[in-house]
Amino acid sequence: KNEVEQSPQNLTAQEGEFITINCSYSVGISALHWLQQHPGGGIVSLFMLSSGKKKHGRLIATINIQEKHSSLHITASHPRDSAVYICAAARGAQKLVFGQGTRLTINP
């Protein structure tokens, strides 16, 4: 079993839908990162959180430390949100353990 599991692996939705991507981890962490990988391959950091909730525009990330679970939500989804979303658990001084990613496709 991977230390970091994401679900679903693939998600297709219609423009405007509310999107939820889940991330579960099996070990203690100091923080959790959400990253976005564009179709062209570039990776951008979206959030880094260690408790509670963060919001940036239409994106919201939450984490429940006790349940070892984090979610990434996208409100009013748009085709430009189509990308691979990756969660990564911060373990130890330098180590990030990455999930395998969720491929999101938003159709117009």
Partner 1 sequence: NAGVTQTPKFQVLKTGQSMTLQCAQDMNHNSMYWYRQDPGMGLRLIYYSASEGTTDKGEVPNGYNVSRLNKREFSLRLESAAPSQTSVYFCASSPLTGSSYEQYFGPGTRLTVT
Residue 51 engages partner 1 in binding (rule: CB under 8 A): no
Region from 14-22, 30-38, 53-61, 64-72 binding partner 1, contact rule CB under 8 A: 30-38
Cα 16 from Cα 39, distance rounded (Å): 20
The DSSP result for 78-91, as a single string, is: -GGG-EEEEEEEEE
Residue 76 engages partner 1 in binding (rule: CB under 8 A): no
Residue 30 engages partner 1 in binding (rule: CB under 8 A): yes
What are the φ/ψ torsions at residue 80 (nearest 5 degrees)? Answer: -70, -10
Considering only 12, 20, 100, 105, the residue that binds partner 1 (CB under 8 A) is 100
Q: Which of 69, 85, 90 is nearest to 25 (CA)?
A: 69
Site for partner 1, rule CB under 8 A: 2, 4, 30-31, 33, 35, 41-45, 48, 50, 86, 88, 90-96, 98-101
